[in-house]
Amino acid sequence: MPPNPGPAAGLLGLVAHDSKKHDMVAWATEHRRVLAHFDIVATGTTGGRILEACPELRLTRLKSGPLGGDQQIGALIAEGRVRALVFLVDPLSAQPHDVDVKALMRVALVYDIPLALNISTAEMLIAALESEAG
């Protein structure tokens, strides 16, 4: 199994399916104080919407998920650069790039990074990050 880079290393990844982008922006806005302690990578549209609401965050926008953004975040995970991923998934809608979505989840599992797929788990993750950030 690939090594985990450890709790002090890495970026935070943020991804949301179209129907969950509003939830992601609301979550990021609510937790902007904690998120401001971290460098963030996000897929294109999700990242743009978060930056509109929280311009103070250190967020790098990658490509849109269907255009390769999911794969870009997966590559960063494989390089040991992403320490946690919040990926708000819409389980009720078919995704045209479902193969990329599954690949991103799989690489997060292989590299044993925290992976939040819904708001409840994202809340638990941000609580752990807040305790680290002080």
Catalytic residues: 70
Burial (0-12, 13-18, 19+ Cβ within 10 Å), 28: buried
For residues 30, 9, 109, 65, the Cα torsion angle rounded to the nearest 10 degrees is 60
In whole angstroms, what is the distance from residue 97 CA to residue 70 CA?
A: 9
In whole angstroms, what is the distance from residue 97 CA to residue 4 CA?
A: 27
Q: Which two tokens stand for residue 128?
A: 């752990």
**Cβ–Cβ under 8 Å, residues 98 and 17:** no
Q: Which two tokens stand for residue 62?
A: 């990658």
